[in-house]
Amino acid sequence: MKQTKILFITRPISPPWDEGSKNLSYNISKHINNFIIYLLSNKKANLSIKKNIIKEDIYINNKLSLLNKTILLNYLLKKNHEIKIFHLFFTPKAITSSIIKKIVQKKNKIIIQNIPSVNSVKTINKNTLIGNTIICLSDYSKNKLNLLGFNNVKKIYPGIDINKFKQEEKNLTLSKKLNISTDEKIILYPGNFYYQDEIRMLTNLIKYLKEKNNRFKFIFACRDRKDFLFNESNLKKKARAIILKNNLKESTIFLETICNMKELINLSDIVVFPLYQSSRKLDIPMILLESMACKKPIIITDIPPINEIFKKEVGFRIKPKDDNDFFIKTELLINNKELRDNMGENGRKVVEKYFDIKNIAQKYNKIYNEFNL
Protein backbone atom coordinates (compact mmCIF):
# COMPACT_ATOMS: atom_id res chain seq x y z
CA MET A 1 0.00 0.00 0.00
CA LYS A 2 1.35 3.42 -0.95
CA GLN A 3 2.20 5.56 2.06
CA THR A 4 0.42 8.88 2.49
CA LYS A 5 2.68 11.93 2.31
CA ILE A 6 2.53 14.60 5.02
CA LEU A 7 4.30 17.93 4.82
CA PHE A 8 5.27 19.58 8.10
CA ILE A 9 5.02 23.32 7.42
CA THR A 10 7.42 24.77 9.97
CA ARG A 11 10.20 27.15 10.66
CA PRO A 12 13.51 25.76 9.39
CA ILE A 13 14.09 22.45 11.20
CA SER A 14 17.63 23.23 12.21
CA PRO A 15 19.79 23.90 15.28
CA PRO A 16 19.78 25.67 17.63
CA TRP A 17 16.89 23.83 19.28
CA ASP A 18 15.52 26.89 21.04
CA GLU A 19 12.03 27.29 19.59
CA GLY A 20 9.14 25.24 20.88
CA SER A 21 7.05 24.57 17.76
CA LYS A 22 10.14 23.65 15.74
CA ASN A 23 11.37 21.25 18.42
CA LEU A 24 7.92 19.69 18.77
CA SER A 25 7.49 19.01 15.05
CA TYR A 26 10.97 17.47 14.77
CA ASN A 27 10.37 15.20 17.77
CA ILE A 28 6.95 14.11 16.48
CA SER A 29 8.51 13.13 13.14
CA LYS A 30 10.84 10.69 14.91
CA HIS A 31 7.89 8.67 16.21
CA ILE A 32 5.64 8.52 13.13
CA ASN A 33 6.20 5.34 11.12
CA ASN A 34 3.23 4.78 8.80
CA PHE A 35 3.50 7.97 6.77
CA ILE A 36 6.10 9.72 4.67
CA ILE A 37 7.01 12.96 6.43
CA TYR A 38 8.56 15.94 4.65
CA LEU A 39 10.70 18.12 6.94
CA LEU A 40 11.67 21.62 5.81
CA SER A 41 15.25 22.53 6.63
CA ASN A 42 18.47 23.90 5.14
CA LYS A 43 21.63 22.30 3.78
CA LYS A 44 23.73 23.04 6.85
CA ALA A 45 21.41 21.22 9.24
CA ASN A 46 22.56 17.71 10.11
CA LEU A 47 19.39 15.93 11.22
CA SER A 48 18.88 12.45 12.61
CA ILE A 49 16.03 11.10 10.49
CA LYS A 50 14.43 7.76 9.68
CA LYS A 51 13.77 6.15 6.28
CA ASN A 52 10.23 7.52 6.07
CA ILE A 53 11.47 11.11 6.58
CA ILE A 54 12.40 13.27 3.61
CA LYS A 55 14.54 16.30 4.40
CA GLU A 56 13.79 19.17 2.03
CA ASP A 57 16.54 21.82 2.11
CA ILE A 58 14.46 24.73 0.89
CA TYR A 59 15.48 27.41 3.38
CA ILE A 60 18.63 29.54 3.11
CA ASN A 61 19.26 29.66 6.87
CA ASN A 62 17.62 28.80 10.22
CA LYS A 63 15.42 31.91 10.48
CA LEU A 64 11.80 32.34 9.42
CA SER A 65 12.64 35.52 7.52
CA LEU A 66 10.54 37.23 4.86
CA LEU A 67 12.74 35.64 2.19
CA ASN A 68 12.29 32.19 3.70
CA LYS A 69 8.51 32.71 3.88
CA THR A 70 8.53 33.52 0.17
CA ILE A 71 10.59 30.41 -0.51
CA LEU A 72 8.08 28.38 1.51
CA LEU A 73 5.09 29.63 -0.49
CA ASN A 74 6.84 28.88 -3.80
CA TYR A 75 7.67 25.42 -2.53
CA LEU A 76 4.02 24.79 -1.60
CA LEU A 77 2.94 25.71 -5.11
CA LYS A 78 5.35 23.16 -6.59
CA LYS A 79 4.66 20.38 -4.08
CA ASN A 80 0.89 20.78 -3.92
CA HIS A 81 0.14 17.82 -6.21
CA GLU A 82 2.29 15.33 -4.24
CA ILE A 83 1.16 15.96 -0.68
CA LYS A 84 -2.16 14.85 0.84
CA ILE A 85 -1.85 16.29 4.37
CA PHE A 86 -0.35 19.67 5.17
CA HIS A 87 0.45 20.10 8.85
CA LEU A 88 1.06 23.70 9.94
CA PHE A 89 3.08 24.02 13.15
CA PHE A 90 2.94 27.78 13.47
CA THR A 91 0.19 30.36 13.11
CA PRO A 92 0.79 32.50 10.02
CA LYS A 93 -0.46 36.05 9.75
CA ALA A 94 -3.79 36.52 7.99
CA ILE A 95 -2.36 37.24 4.52
CA THR A 96 0.02 34.26 4.67
CA SER A 97 -2.78 32.03 5.93
CA SER A 98 -4.99 33.12 3.04
CA ILE A 99 -2.27 32.29 0.51
CA ILE A 100 -1.55 28.89 2.07
CA LYS A 101 -5.26 28.11 2.18
CA LYS A 102 -5.67 28.89 -1.53
CA ILE A 103 -2.62 26.81 -2.44
CA VAL A 104 -3.45 23.81 -0.30
CA GLN A 105 -7.23 23.52 -0.49
CA LYS A 106 -7.15 22.37 -4.10
CA LYS A 107 -7.62 18.78 -5.17
CA ASN A 108 -9.05 17.62 -1.83
CA LYS A 109 -6.03 18.45 0.33
CA ILE A 110 -6.15 18.32 4.13
CA ILE A 111 -4.83 21.00 6.50
CA ILE A 112 -3.98 20.22 10.11
CA GLN A 113 -3.02 23.30 12.06
CA ASN A 114 -1.27 23.53 15.41
CA ILE A 115 -1.93 26.70 17.39
CA PRO A 116 1.10 27.12 19.68
CA SER A 117 -0.68 29.81 21.71
CA VAL A 118 -4.19 31.16 21.14
CA ASN A 119 -3.25 34.24 23.17
CA SER A 120 -0.59 35.05 20.56
CA VAL A 121 -3.08 35.14 17.67
CA LYS A 122 -4.05 38.77 17.10
CA THR A 123 -7.15 38.01 15.02
CA ILE A 124 -9.00 34.74 15.57
CA ASN A 125 -11.21 33.90 12.61
CA LYS A 126 -11.45 31.46 9.73
CA ASN A 127 -8.88 33.45 7.76
CA THR A 128 -6.15 32.74 10.30
CA LEU A 129 -7.35 29.37 11.63
CA ILE A 130 -7.56 27.45 8.37
CA GLY A 131 -7.19 23.82 9.45
CA ASN A 132 -9.65 21.03 8.77
CA THR A 133 -8.52 20.02 12.23
CA ILE A 134 -7.08 22.55 14.69
CA ILE A 135 -4.80 21.30 17.44
CA CYS A 136 -4.37 23.31 20.63
CA LEU A 137 -1.70 22.59 23.22
CA SER A 138 -3.88 23.17 26.28
CA ASP A 139 -7.43 22.78 27.55
CA TYR A 140 -7.53 26.56 28.02
CA SER A 141 -6.94 27.24 24.32
CA LYS A 142 -9.29 24.49 23.16
CA ASN A 143 -12.10 25.82 25.35
CA LYS A 144 -11.47 29.37 24.16
CA LEU A 145 -11.78 28.37 20.50
CA ASN A 146 -14.87 26.26 21.23
CA LEU A 147 -16.53 29.31 22.78
CA LEU A 148 -15.69 31.28 19.62
CA GLY A 149 -17.53 28.73 17.49
CA PHE A 150 -14.67 26.47 16.35
CA ASN A 151 -15.85 22.88 16.70
CA ASN A 152 -12.99 21.17 14.83
CA VAL A 153 -10.53 21.56 17.70
CA LYS A 154 -8.56 18.87 19.53
CA LYS A 155 -6.21 19.23 22.48
CA ILE A 156 -2.82 17.52 22.45
CA TYR A 157 -0.23 18.55 25.01
CA PRO A 158 3.33 19.19 23.80
CA GLY A 159 5.79 16.38 24.41
CA ILE A 160 9.49 15.87 25.03
CA ASP A 161 11.98 13.04 24.81
CA ILE A 162 12.02 11.76 28.39
CA ASN A 163 14.95 9.45 27.63
CA LYS A 164 17.06 12.43 26.64
CA PHE A 165 15.91 14.79 29.36
CA LYS A 166 16.49 13.11 32.70
CA GLN A 167 18.31 13.77 35.94
CA GLU A 168 22.09 13.62 35.67
CA GLU A 169 25.04 14.62 37.80
CA LYS A 170 26.09 18.25 37.66
CA ASN A 171 28.78 18.98 35.10
CA LEU A 172 31.69 20.22 37.22
CA THR A 173 33.52 21.48 34.15
CA LEU A 174 30.56 23.68 33.30
CA SER A 175 30.38 24.86 36.92
CA LYS A 176 34.01 25.85 36.82
CA LYS A 177 33.58 27.60 33.47
CA LEU A 178 30.71 29.66 34.89
CA ASN A 179 32.61 30.33 38.12
CA ILE A 180 30.02 28.59 40.28
CA SER A 181 31.04 27.38 43.74
CA THR A 182 29.87 24.00 45.02
CA ASP A 183 27.92 25.61 47.87
CA GLU A 184 25.96 27.97 45.64
CA LYS A 185 22.38 27.16 44.67
CA ILE A 186 21.59 27.76 40.99
CA ILE A 187 18.41 29.54 39.90
CA LEU A 188 17.73 29.27 36.17
CA TYR A 189 15.54 31.61 34.13
CA PRO A 190 15.28 30.10 30.61
CA GLY A 191 12.95 32.74 29.19
CA ASN A 192 13.21 35.93 27.17
CA PHE A 193 13.67 39.65 27.63
CA TYR A 194 10.14 40.49 26.50
CA TYR A 195 8.43 42.43 29.25
CA GLN A 196 9.81 45.11 31.53
CA ASP A 197 7.79 43.96 34.55
CA GLU A 198 9.23 40.45 34.31
CA ILE A 199 12.78 41.80 34.19
CA ARG A 200 12.06 44.06 37.15
CA MET A 201 10.71 41.12 39.15
CA LEU A 202 13.74 38.93 38.35
CA THR A 203 16.34 41.58 39.16
CA ASN A 204 14.50 42.42 42.38
CA LEU A 205 14.59 38.72 43.29
CA ILE A 206 18.37 38.70 42.90
CA LYS A 207 18.64 41.80 45.06
CA TYR A 208 16.33 40.30 47.71
CA LEU A 209 18.25 37.00 47.92
CA LYS A 210 21.56 38.84 48.11
CA GLU A 211 20.33 41.04 50.95
CA LYS A 212 19.23 37.90 52.83
CA ASN A 213 22.79 36.52 52.51
CA ASN A 214 21.82 33.52 50.39
CA ARG A 215 24.59 31.70 48.51
CA PHE A 216 23.37 31.47 44.92
CA LYS A 217 23.92 32.21 41.26
CA PHE A 218 21.11 33.43 39.04
CA ILE A 219 21.41 32.46 35.37
CA PHE A 220 19.62 34.37 32.60
CA ALA A 221 19.60 31.71 29.85
CA CYS A 222 17.90 33.85 27.24
CA ARG A 223 18.46 33.22 23.55
CA ASP A 224 19.91 36.10 21.61
CA ARG A 225 17.25 37.20 19.13
CA LYS A 226 16.19 40.41 17.47
CA ASP A 227 12.66 41.55 18.21
CA PHE A 228 12.11 45.18 17.37
CA LEU A 229 8.51 45.18 18.54
CA PHE A 230 9.42 44.17 22.08
CA ASN A 231 12.79 46.00 22.31
CA GLU A 232 14.35 42.82 23.66
CA SER A 233 17.92 44.08 23.31
CA ASN A 234 17.01 47.23 25.25
CA LEU A 235 15.51 45.20 28.09
CA LYS A 236 18.59 43.01 28.18
CA LYS A 237 20.76 46.12 28.51
CA LYS A 238 18.47 47.43 31.22
CA ALA A 239 18.73 44.18 33.18
CA ARG A 240 22.52 44.29 32.98
CA ALA A 241 22.53 47.92 34.11
CA ILE A 242 20.36 47.11 37.15
CA ILE A 243 22.67 44.24 38.08
CA LEU A 244 25.75 46.47 37.88
CA LYS A 245 24.12 49.38 39.72
CA ASN A 246 23.16 47.15 42.66
CA ASN A 247 26.52 45.31 42.81
CA LEU A 248 24.91 42.00 41.89
CA LYS A 249 27.32 40.97 39.14
CA GLU A 250 28.97 38.24 41.22
CA SER A 251 25.59 36.57 41.74
CA THR A 252 24.40 36.83 38.11
CA ILE A 253 25.27 35.08 34.85
CA PHE A 254 24.00 36.10 31.41
CA LEU A 255 24.01 33.38 28.74
CA GLU A 256 22.84 34.02 25.19
CA THR A 257 23.81 30.89 23.29
CA ILE A 258 23.23 27.62 25.11
CA CYS A 259 24.97 24.67 23.50
CA ASN A 260 23.60 22.02 25.83
CA MET A 261 20.38 22.95 27.62
CA LYS A 262 20.14 19.57 29.33
CA GLU A 263 23.49 20.15 31.06
CA LEU A 264 22.43 23.63 32.13
CA ILE A 265 19.13 22.36 33.56
CA ASN A 266 20.91 19.62 35.49
CA LEU A 267 23.38 22.16 36.81
CA SER A 268 20.48 24.14 38.26
CA ASP A 269 18.54 23.63 41.47
CA ILE A 270 15.41 25.67 40.66
CA VAL A 271 13.84 26.86 37.39
CA VAL A 272 11.80 30.06 37.51
CA PHE A 273 9.33 31.30 34.89
CA PRO A 274 7.34 34.28 36.22
CA LEU A 275 5.16 35.33 33.29
CA TYR A 276 3.16 38.52 33.30
CA GLN A 277 1.18 37.26 30.31
CA SER A 278 1.14 34.03 28.32
CA SER A 279 1.44 35.39 24.78
CA ARG A 280 4.51 34.73 22.60
CA LYS A 281 5.07 31.34 24.25
CA LEU A 282 3.82 27.84 23.70
CA ASP A 283 0.83 27.31 25.97
CA ILE A 284 3.06 25.02 27.99
CA PRO A 285 6.72 25.92 27.36
CA MET A 286 8.90 22.95 26.42
CA ILE A 287 11.71 24.17 28.66
CA LEU A 288 9.51 23.65 31.72
CA LEU A 289 8.75 20.08 30.66
CA GLU A 290 12.46 19.46 30.10
CA SER A 291 13.25 20.88 33.55
CA MET A 292 10.62 18.72 35.22
CA ALA A 293 11.93 15.66 33.38
CA CYS A 294 15.31 16.43 34.96
CA LYS A 295 13.60 16.55 38.38
CA LYS A 296 13.93 20.28 38.87
CA PRO A 297 11.21 22.13 40.82
CA ILE A 298 9.68 25.01 38.92
CA ILE A 299 8.16 28.34 39.94
CA ILE A 300 5.59 29.80 37.56
CA THR A 301 2.89 32.44 37.61
CA ASP A 302 -0.52 30.97 38.36
CA ILE A 303 -2.18 31.93 35.06
CA PRO A 304 -3.68 29.80 32.30
CA PRO A 305 -2.70 27.91 30.31
CA ILE A 306 0.78 27.45 31.79
CA ASN A 307 -0.66 26.36 35.14
CA GLU A 308 -2.10 23.21 33.51
CA ILE A 309 1.36 21.77 34.07
CA PHE A 310 0.58 21.40 37.78
CA LYS A 311 -0.96 17.94 37.69
CA LYS A 312 0.88 17.46 41.00
CA GLU A 313 2.89 19.80 43.21
CA VAL A 314 5.88 20.12 40.90
CA GLY A 315 6.99 23.43 42.40
CA PHE A 316 5.25 26.64 43.33
CA ARG A 317 2.64 28.78 41.62
CA ILE A 318 2.94 32.46 42.45
CA LYS A 319 0.25 35.13 42.38
CA PRO A 320 0.39 37.32 39.26
CA LYS A 321 2.49 40.47 39.76
CA ASP A 322 3.20 39.55 43.39
CA ASP A 323 6.93 40.09 43.94
CA ASN A 324 6.84 39.13 47.60
CA ASP A 325 5.16 35.78 46.91
CA PHE A 326 7.84 35.06 44.31
CA PHE A 327 10.71 36.01 46.62
CA ILE A 328 9.48 33.98 49.60
CA LYS A 329 8.80 30.81 47.62
CA THR A 330 12.14 30.98 45.78
CA GLU A 331 14.03 31.40 49.06
CA LEU A 332 12.06 28.53 50.59
CA LEU A 333 13.18 26.20 47.80
CA ILE A 334 16.78 27.41 48.01
CA ASN A 335 16.95 26.42 51.67
CA ASN A 336 14.96 23.19 51.60
CA LYS A 337 16.60 20.33 49.71
CA GLU A 338 13.97 17.78 50.75
CA LEU A 339 11.22 19.97 49.32
CA ARG A 340 13.18 20.47 46.10
CA ASP A 341 13.71 16.73 45.76
CA ASN A 342 10.04 15.85 46.43
CA MET A 343 8.75 18.41 43.94
CA GLY A 344 11.36 17.29 41.42
CA GLU A 345 10.21 13.67 41.72
CA ASN A 346 6.61 14.79 41.20
CA GLY A 347 7.66 16.71 38.11
CA ARG A 348 9.30 13.69 36.54
CA LYS A 349 6.16 11.59 37.15
CA VAL A 350 3.93 14.24 35.58
CA VAL A 351 6.08 14.43 32.44
CA GLU A 352 6.19 10.64 32.12
CA LYS A 353 2.39 10.42 32.36
CA TYR A 354 1.25 13.43 30.33
CA PHE A 355 4.11 14.75 28.18
CA ASP A 356 6.11 11.78 26.85
CA ILE A 357 6.72 12.46 23.14
CA LYS A 358 6.19 8.78 22.27
CA ASN A 359 2.62 8.92 23.55
CA ILE A 360 2.02 12.41 22.17
CA ALA A 361 3.16 11.34 18.68
CA GLN A 362 0.64 8.50 18.66
CA LYS A 363 -2.16 11.02 19.19
CA TYR A 364 -1.00 12.83 16.06
CA ASN A 365 -0.74 9.50 14.27
CA LYS A 366 -4.38 8.83 15.12
CA ILE A 367 -5.43 12.16 13.58
CA TYR A 368 -3.43 11.45 10.42
CA ASN A 369 -5.15 8.08 10.13
CA GLU A 370 -8.57 9.76 10.31
CA PHE A 371 -7.78 11.49 7.02
CA ASN A 372 -5.90 8.57 5.47
CA LEU A 373 -8.87 7.22 3.49
Residues 125-153 pLDDT 10s: 888 899 999 999 999 999 999 999 999 99
Instruction: State whether 243 and 320 are in the same domain.
Output: yes
Residue 62: inside a domain: yes
pLDDT of residue 224: 58
Residue 290: inside a domain: yes
Instruction: State whether 274 and 364 are in the same domain.
Output: no
Instruction: State whether 182 and 143 are in the same domain.
Output: no
Instruction: State whether 86 and 14 are in the same domain.
Output: yes
pLDDT of residue 232: 58
Instruction: State whether 261 and 241 are in the same domain.
Output: yes
Instruction: State whether 136 and 237 are in the same domain.
Output: no
Mean of per-residue pLDDT scores for the chain: 90
Residue 71: inside a domain: yes
pLDDT of residue 331: 96
**Residue 279 — very low, low, confident or very high, per pLDDT cuts 50/70/90?**
low
pLDDT of residue 16: 84
Instruction: State whether 178 and 81 are in the same domain.
Output: no
Residue 167: inside a domain: no
pLDDT at 373 over 70: no
pLDDT at 239 over 80: yes
**Residue 228 — very low, low, confident or very high, per pLDDT cuts 50/70/90?**
very low
pLDDT at 101 over 90: no
**In the chain, % of residues over pLDDT 70:** 95
Q: Give the structural domain span for 84.
A: 5-159+356-371
| Long-range contacts, stretch 277-281, CB < 8 angstroms, 24+ apart | 277/119, 277/195, 277/303, 278/117, 278/119, 278/303, 278/304, 278/305, 278/306, 279/117, 279/119, 279/120, 280/117, 280/120, 280/192, 280/194, 280/230, 281/20, 281/116, 281/117, 281/120, 281/306
Instruction: State whether 198 and 346 are in the same domain.
Output: yes
pLDDT of residue 272: 97
Instruction: State whether 39 and 108 are in the same domain.
Output: yes
The total of structural domains in the chain comes to 2
Instruction: Report which of residues 276 and 244 the model is more confident about.
Output: 244
Q: Which of 8, 118, 1 has the alpha carbon at shortest distance from 55? A: 8
Residue 166: inside a domain: no
Instruction: State whether 186 and 75 are in the same domain.
Output: no
**Residue 226 — very low, low, confident or very high, per pLDDT cuts 50/70/90?**
low
Domain CATH number, residue 127: 3.40.50.2000
Residues 17-26 pLDDT 10s: 888 899 999 9
